[in-house]
Amino acid sequence: MAKLSPGKRESLPSSNFGLPGERKYPMPDESHARNAKARAAQQEKEGSITSAQKKTIDRKADRMLGEE
């Protein structure tokens, strides 16, 4: 996965995040999209995010990966 520096992350538009309102799960490229899906699954299992939040992240990642 490509490195995402704090400055680059801050410059990303909100639309590049799985949870745009919270600016969490950045997805500037396909490797980050795959990673976001994996982390969201882990976080849902831990109870840190809701199933609705996971679905939002998955939908966004799927669009980026061409898996709609």
User: CA neighbours within 13 Å on the CB side: how many for 1?
Assistant: 15
Let me know if residue 8 belongs to a domain: no
Let me know if residue 55 belongs to a domain: yes
Q: Decide: 39 and 25 in contact? Cβ < 8 Å.
A: yes
pLDDT of residue 27: 96
pLDDT of residue 26: 96
pLDDT of residue 35: 96
Let me know if residue 39 belongs to a domain: yes
Q: For 27-38, how does the pLDDT look when each residue is reduced to its tens digit (9 = 90+)?
A: 999 999 999 999
pTM: predicted TM-score of the whole model, two decimal places? 0.90
Q: Round to whole Å and give the CA distance between 33 and 64.
A: 7
Q: For 16-59, how does the pLDDT look when each residue is reduced to its tens digit (9 = 90+)?
A: 999 999 999 999 999 999 999 999 999 999 999 999 999 999 99
The tally of domains found in the chain comes to 1
Tokens 């840190």 sit at which residue? 48
